[in-house]
Structure formats: C-alpha cells, structure tokens
Amino acid sequence: MGKNKKLLEIAEEVEKCKICKVGKSGKAVPGEGSPDAKIMFVGEAPGKTEAKTGRPFVGRSGKLLRQMIDGLGLKAEEIFITSPVKYLPDRGTPTVSDINHGKTHLQKQIDVINPKTIVLLGNSACVAMLGSKIPILKRHGEVLEKKGKKYLITFHPSAVLRFPNKYKEMFKEDLKFLSE
C-alpha cells in the first residue's frame, strides 16, 4: 500500500475514533503535507479555525508558523504539519490523557512518513514525543537524537504570538536548524 493511502486510512481512523472525541468538538484535524516529508512539525491541538476547516495550523498561530516555514525556504508541500491531539479540546488545552491517546494516531503517521527531523512546538509536543514536560525557555533550540530521528525543541507559535518581543527572535533562531 502506498504512503498516501496509509495516511488516508489513519485520517479515517481519527474521524471514527470515539476516544479522540471525548471532551472535544469540531472536525477531525489529522494533519497535512507530504507523505515523504523530511521534516514534521508537531503542535498541541487544533484551535477553533482548525476545527472549522479540518486543516492544521490555519488560525493565527498557524499563519505565524507558515510564515516562518516560508522564510526558511521550505515549501508547505515538502513538510508535514500535525498535532498529537486531533480535535479541539472543550477546555482549550488538552489533558495528558488526550495527548497520550492522540499520540497513538500521531505515531502511526510518523511510522508511515518516517521524517528525519521532528519539530516539537511547545510542551504538549514534548510530552507526546519525549514522554515528559520540558522547560522550553531553558532548552529551546536543543536537538535530541532518538532512534535515528532528530527532535528540535522550540516554542509553540501561540506562545510566540503572546510574547513576540520575548520569543520571536529565539523561535526564528531555533528554526534555522532546519535549513542547515
């Protein structure tokens, strides 16, 4: 089976998943991009705009992320953008159990795409992929190697939007790793 077909099957699984929907609403947001992406961006959970459209990172923080990606000379079609949690949490922020469940779908996507580098956008992404919270302000820019993959720790774009003077330059610097 081709990678595209496998990713579609995972997306259908997310659409049918009853556990995913607990305490959440809106359309499923499985993620989008190239099945052969070398770089994968992992966020937290869809926001309202994402839940309306079914597309990841299309709201305000998504615009910022996509601008940064453009600025690096990367094309949206060359990468894959997703989040561990696939539906909009009623409380805005997902719980650890939301992340741990969503991660089962995310891991399947990673297994199909097999990216070289995974960009961890904030703490929920770190919990999903590294198994614990990370002090982002202290460790942003760090690249960890695990089972042949690189994990770049950085800010979630919504934090950058909230404190642009404080975080925007650091976020930009962290992401430069991707063009190297």
Given the rule CB under 6 A, which residues bind ligand URA?
29, 43-47, 50, 56-57, 59, 61-62, 83
Between 33 and 43, name the residue whose CB sits nearer to ligand URA: 43
Taking the complex as a whole, the smallest distance from the CB of residue 29 to ligand URA amounts, in Å, to 5
Least distance (Å) between residue 96 CB and ligand URA: 15
* Residue 57 CB burial class (10 angstroms; 0-12, 13-18, ≥19): buried
Cβ 117 to ligand URA shortest distance, Å: 18
Q: Which is nearer to ligand URA, 31 or 74 (CB)?
A: 31
Distance, CA of 129 to CA of 146 (rounded, Å): 10
Assign residue 148 a region (left: φ > 0; alpha: ψ between -120 and 50; beta: otherwise): left
Nearer to ligand URA, 8 or 161 (CB): 161
Rounded to whole angstroms, the Cα distance separating 126 from 103 reads 11
Q: Give the number of other CB atoms < 10 A from CB of residue 79.
A: 22
Residue 87 or residue 178: which is nearer to ligand URA going by CB? 87
Query: Minimum CB separation from ligand URA for residue 65, in Å?
Result: 8
* Contact (CB, 8 A) for 29 and 86: yes
| Shortest-Cβ-distance residue relative to ligand URA | 43
